[in-house]
Amino acid sequence: MPTYAYACTSCGHAFDAVQSFSDDALTVCPECGGALRKQYGSIGVTFNGSGFYRTDSRSGGGKKTESSASSKTDKSTSASPAPATTPASN
């Protein structure tokens, strides 16, 4: 069950409440009877791994289809290497 943070808009009393997802949000301050406001904080998200790409969460193989089609066309072109480019100086 998740823990929600609440703060009173009248007296400033802040507290945490453990509630089920199906429970209604609290609206009355237990200290003064004023209106409560649910507090939202930042969550810690960590992405571990070798990398994340635009196509990671999509179904199908849109990127894979393009790469297999381009590899077929690359084989039919000449095998001469591309000319080297020099970096631009500032």
Highest mean pLDDT among 40-44, 50-54, 84-88: 40-44
Q: Mean pLDDT over residues 39-56, rounded?
A: 72
Confidence bin at 40 (pLDDT 50/70/90): confident
Confidence bin at 32 (pLDDT 50/70/90): very high
Sheet-wide strand order for 36-39: 14-18, 3-8, 36-39
What lies within 8 Å, CB to CB, of 14 at 6+ separation is: 5, 6, 7, 8, 39
pTM across the whole model: 0.46
What SS3 string covers 10-62? CCCCEEEEECCCCCCCCCECCCCCCEEEEECCCCCCCCCCCCCCCCCCCCCCH
Of residues 72 and 52, more confidence is placed in: 52
